[in-house]
Amino acid sequence: MPLFGSIAALLFSLGYWIAPSAWAAERLSVRAGLFEHSVEVKSLEHLAKTGEVPSSLKSYKFLLTPTIKQAFTKSLYVDSALVEPLLADLFSSPDGEKLLDQLSKALPGTDAQRIKDTFSLALHGRDALNFLSFVRAYPDATLTVDLAEVAKIAVQLNASAWQNQMMSPRLERDLRVEANENVPLGIDPTVSGNEAVSMVTLRLKDGTRQRNIPVDIYYSSNTRGPLVVISHGFAADRKFLRYLARHLASYGMTVAALDHPGSNIAVLVKKALGMRVSQLLPASEFIDRPQDISFLLDKLEILNRRKGVLKGKLNVRQVTVIGHSYGGYTALAVAGAELNPKALRGFCQAVSILQRSPADWLQCAASELPYGRRQFRDPRVAQVIAFNPIIGNLFGNDLSGVKVPTLIVSSSADGITPTISHQLQPFKQLSGEKYLLVAIGATHMSLTDISNLNSTVGQSTLVQEVMGKDAESMRQMAKAIALAFVEQLTPAAPTYRPFLSPAYVQSLSDEKITFRLARELPPTVDAWLSVLNLGNRYADSDESEGKPSILKAIRGYFINATEMISPPAYCSGQLDRLFTGLLNTYDSDRYYWDSLA
């Protein structure tokens, strides 16, 4: 998913190198104002392979900090047959033309065609793409790099990650509470309940919209409480939060986890080869997804009255929707948030291609919708949990339509849906009963047990993820907080209310991930959000235009600050193989083909 927000990172990823061709650049000329120095590419290759600073780079040893050296080992592992047509489509778009213009400035003496040709040659060299493979594919003997222009690109490209790093210590400190053990004795919401869980799969057909929607229903003999609906993220499927569905069902809840055709892993695998950037996510999917939820509830309401194993187990009049990532958007849409394509278009036109996070690339697909505001509220939805949701500007910075209790979970090291623009700012827009849970040190994929299901996945091509055993506390938190939240719609609400307290959530922390819970943002955090939002507004402005520029301030701050920030311990997983593994990891439970038309 984050490929297209990370293309420019190829210029800064050093490490795994390819054999030189007859036309390869042999020297790299670094320019900074009037200063210019040339180094041999083989010296950089030596540093990348061994970590040792060769004699030709001794005078620059003070610049080769541990952070920079670590960057020399970074590579993107890609399939050229998949990526090349996507790049070609990107470069032919208006956004791509702007990107090529910025890269041309950073690489003086090049032009758009030469950059495109170099990318093509580098893609066919090996599966590993990085700065040195790009240099070796460059058709001149010397490649010149302008550090001032590179700094501008770097500020835009890494703005979200830097903001996350700046905000994390503030959240950890200012949301901390004193320990409080005032929780019910004999109840541990992280432990499975006493009910035996069964699973049945329905295949629902929406003839009106020509969509076939598979749904896994988790249930027990003694059903109680509301129906829970789980909506997966982009390029995932209904198995993504299977452990959570089983956990809730073990307490008597009935859980329906559906696939969204058009944005699940199955459709992405089918269209992988030859796919264009514009085809990754159809704009219509932002309309179809919330309609999938309402369609599902309509069909389950009928099924609840029919004879069969599910009769009386589907309380569709009282529904909790749980969504992850793109599913978080879906959950908020059916809860009453209005899709606002007009406001989204303004954002997507104003923000440069390099400033967009992966979530921004996805949300901007909705800007093609010709409609005004769109309302998908379903009155049967009583509350919402949104894990790492894609929100951004999809609702035009207005969540006033959401009247039901809402819990937003944000991960501080999320490289897909940055916490500030996609969770913290939207949280402020909620006016009803609301909770914000921050997982400091966690990433976008930490919530899933997907790495435990498929332990043979390869290296991540794009983003680093805290997963597997390192993220066990994240899954324990999800089970406890989801159960306590759903129980608020049952007579057991008072018993489970203490598990929605900041003190209890904080107690679930471990040495890798720290949890904080708040009902409102404290003034100190709110003030930081205002400052960082100002930085977003002017991140690509130019002092010569009379606008306030923060480029110098950001550069100066991060040159010093990045050395003080310890990155989380990462477990890597190749997302496409990882999700494909899900498709082959189904329960051995029986399948039930529903003939509802």
| Share of residues in the chain with pLDDT > 90 (%) | 44
Of 291, 283, 255, residue with least CA distance to 341: 283
Confidence at 398, pLDDT banded by 50, 70, 90 = very high
What average pLDDT does this structure show over 523-552?
Answer: 56
3-class SS of residue 92: coil
pLDDT (0 to 100) of residue 104: 84
Strands (E), 55-162: 76-77, 128-129, 142-146
pLDDT given for residue 193 in this prediction: 96
CATH superfamily of 197-519+574-583: Alpha/Beta hydrolase fold, catalytic domain (3.40.50.1820)
**Mean pLDDT, rounded, for 320-331:** 97
Res 591 pLDDT > 50: no
How far is residue 444's CA from residue 324's CA, in Å, rounded to a whole number? 9
The DSSP output letter for 519 is S
Q: Is the pLDDT of residue 244 over 90?
A: yes
> Averaged over 110-123, what is the pLDDT?
80
pLDDT tens digit sequence for 257-294: 999 999 988 877 666 544 555 567 889 999 999 999 99
Q: Where are the domains of the chain?
A: 2-157, 197-519+574-583
Beta partners for residue 27, in sequence order: 40, 142
pLDDT confidence bin for 487, thresholds 50/70/90: very high
Higher pLDDT, 366 or 463: 366
Selection from 559, 558, 564 nearest residue 163 by Cα: 558
SS3 384: strand
- Looking at per-residue pLDDT, the higher value among 258 and 54 belongs to 258
- Whole-number percent of the chain with pLDDT over 70: 72
| Residue 369: how many other CB atoms lie within 10 Å | 18
Question: What is the maximal distance between C-alpha atoms in the chain?
Answer: 82
Which residues, other chains included, contact 98 with Cβ-Cβ below 8 Å and sequence gap of 6+? 352, 353
The pLDDT tens digits of the residues spanning 167-208 come to 888 889 999 998 876 778 889 999 999 999 999 999 999 999
Which among 330, 430, 427 is positioned nearest to 381, based on CA atoms?
Answer: 330
pLDDT at 534 over 60: no
Tell which wins on pLDDT, 158 or 467: 467
Out of 5-14, 49-58, 109-118, 156-165, least confident range: 5-14
Predicted pLDDT at 108 = 86
Q: Is the pLDDT of residue 580 over 90?
A: no
Whether the predicted pLDDT of 159 surpasses 70:
no
Q: How far apart are CA 575 and CA 78, in angstroms?
A: 11
CA angle 246, 248, 254 (to 5 degrees): 90
Identify the top-confidence range among 91-105, 267-281, 295-309.
295-309
Q: Rank 25-29, 280-284, 489-493, 523-527 by mean pLDDT and report only the highest.
A: 489-493
How much is the pLDDT for 306? 93
More confident call, 63 vs 298: 298
Which of 78-82, 109-113, 189-193 is modeled with the greatest confidence? Answer: 189-193
- According to the model, what pLDDT value does residue 218 have? 98
Angle of helix 159-174 versus helix 147-157 axis, rounded to 10: 50
Look at residue 139 in the predicted model and tell me its pLDDT.
Answer: 79
In which band, very low, low, confident or very high, does the pLDDT at 24 lie, cut at 50, 70 and 90?
Answer: low
* The pLDDT value given to residue 52: 78
Q: What is the side-by-side order of every strand in the sheet holding 27-32?
A: 35-40, 27-32, 142-146
Decide if pLDDT at 375 tops 80: yes
Which stretch, 114-123, 262-271, 303-312, has highest mean pLDDT? 303-312
Give residue-wise pLDDT tens across range 399-457: 999 999 999 999 999 989 999 999 999 999 999 999 999 999 999 999 998 754 433 33
The 3-state secondary structure of 440-463, one letter per residue: ECCCCCCCCCHHHHCCCCCCCCCC
Burial class (CB in 10 A: 0-12, 13-18, 19+), 397: middle
Give phi and psi for 561, each to the nearest 5.
-75, -35
Q: Give the per-residue pLDDT at 134.
A: 78
Contact between 293 and 319 under an 8 Å Cβ cutoff? The reply is no
Distance CA 257, CA 372 (A): 30
Q: What is the pLDDT of residue 292?
A: 98
Average pLDDT, the chain: 78
Which pLDDT score, from 0 to 100, does residue 559 have? Answer: 36
Beta-strand relationship, 406-411 and 381-387 = parallel
Find the mean pLDDT for residues 120-148.
74
How far is 383 from 493, CA to CA, in rounded Å?
Answer: 14
Please tell me the predicted confidence (pLDDT) of residue 457: 32
Q: Give the pLDDT score at 6.
A: 37
Model confidence at 143, in pLDDT bands (50, 70, 90)? Answer: confident
